Structure 1
Amino acid sequence: MRVVVPFAANDPKTRLASVLDPEERRAFSRAMLGDVLEAVREAGGEPELLATAPLDADVPMTVDDRPLTEAVNAALEPETAVVMADLPLATPEAIEALFDASREVVLAPGRGGGTNALLSRQPGFRVDYHDGSFLKHRERAGELGSVGVIDSHRLATDIDEPADLVELLIHGEGRAADWLRDAGFELVRRESRLAIGRE
């Protein structure tokens, strides 16, 4: 299964700027990418990086600095999956569920209404990211044919905001979680909820 993994190589994860400096954001993003690529491979997928700038990687890579929607649409072919690079909790089993679903378009929504992963077997399907993309993708796929939805905590948990790091520290076991712990992050209790702190 061909799997396109979009990756912002230039200035990644700007919404984490309150807790990580630019160099740390780059290193952390690469750690998350490593987790995703490993999960895709172990699920039997063949990952291809769709990066905004060249970088060292051990997978085929296309450099495309256009906005995400345009870049992904240019890369889409029938029987293509798209898995975002900021899903460090993704497991081979979760990605296999995406591959194994029998619909023409299969969507894995994010917690905030985005689309964290998808599989398209429908030549006419095109993506439209941002601003509640899951609902747009589900409607568009339904107009073209059959659509399925994968309900997966592992695929729904993307890391965009500092609060998202809590989920990674609780459930993560890969490179990204190790990177956070090595950088001094830990779970702390604040007013009956868990948050992140840094040593």
Structure 2
Amino acid sequence: MHVVVPFAATDPKTRLASVLTSAERSTLARAMLADVLTATVEVGTEPTVVSTAPLDLDTLSLEATIRDAVSVTVDDRPLTEAVNARLPPNHDDAPTAVIMADLALATPDALVTLFSRDADVAIAPGRSGGTNALVVSHPDFRVDYHGASYLDHCEIAREVGAGLETVDSFRLSTDIDEPDDLAEILIHDTETDRAPACLRELGFALETRDGRVGVARFEETTRE
């Protein structure tokens, strides 16, 4: 199986601009990418980061075994075009998995659940109707990441006669786009995860407000 991890290397995570500077967003994005790459390698794959700009893997502080399994290719085309260029063109080709780089909660077990599906197209939708991860083996299926892409991808699969399966996974459905999403990183972290360590270094901690768990920043760093 080929595994593709798209990554916006320039000015990532703009919807977090109200709580993080540009430099901080870049640091967090790379921490989440490192966690995603670690999970994908731990299930036995050798992922390719499709980056919008040159990316030095040494800046991700990956363990040597993880670093050696990862490659980077630069493709500055829009996400849809960059992914479609890497989907299998023939029935005999190996499936291609596309895993978004902001799935900070992704674990090897969650990825195995996705990768083990037999359908021509297996999709792990996001909480807001996006497509957070998918595996494609049907040669006529192509992605379209605009708008409610999960529904669009279901329709595309039907149009090309591809067998479709939706993977219900909390960890794969949780992408980090908005400030409220940051709480999920701290709630579900492990000792080795880089993303929660990054947030804590930036001064974030969990805080309960009106019966809901969120995050608060208790140690302000220098903001641009």
Separation (CA, whole Å) in 1 of partners of 2:162 and 2:96? 16
Q: 1:191 aligns with which of 198, 203, 210?
A: 210
Separation (CA, whole Å) in 1 of partners of 2:146 and 2:176? 15
Q: 1:129 aligns with which of 145, 148, 151?
A: 145
| Partner in structure 2 of residue 5 of structure 1 | 5
Deviates more, 1:25-34 or 1:169-178: 169-178
Separation (CA, whole Å) in 1 of partners of 2:82 and 2:189? 29
1:54 aligns with 2:54: yes
Separation (CA, whole Å) in 1 of partners of 2:211 and 2:105? 24
Separation (CA, whole Å) in 2 of partners of 1:117 and 1:141? 15
Report the alpha carbon displacement of residue 142 of structure 1 after superposing the two structures with TM. Answer: 2.4
| Partner in structure 1 of residue 35 of structure 2 | 35
SS of residue matched to 1:163: helix
Q: TM-score, normalised by structure 1?
A: 0.97
Identity of aligned residues (%): 58
Q: 2:130 aligns with which of 114, 136, 142?
A: 114
Residues 1-199 of structure 1: matches in 2 within 5 Å?
1-57=1-57, 58=67, 59-77=70-88, 78=93, 79-143=95-159, 144-173=161-190, 174-199=193-218
Deviating runs (4+, > 4 A) in structure 1?
none
Larger Rg: 2
Q: TM-score, normalised by structure 2?
A: 0.86
The one-letter amino acid paired with 1:56 is D
Separation (CA, whole Å) in 2 of partners of 1:130 and 1:167? 25
Report the alpha carbon displacement of residue 91 of structure 1 after superposing the two structures with TM. Answer: 0.4
Given that 2:141 and 2:162 are in contact with CA atoms closer than 8 Å, whether structure 1 keeps it comes out as no
SS of residue matched to 1:151: coil
> What are the superposed Cα offsets for residues 104-134 of structure 1, whole Å, 9 maximum, x if unpaired?
1000000010000000010111000031100
Instruction: Number of aligned residue pairs: give it.
Output: 199
Deviates more, 1:7-16 or 1:184-193: 184-193
Report the alpha carbon displacement of residue 98 of structure 1 after superposing the two structures with TM. Answer: 0.9
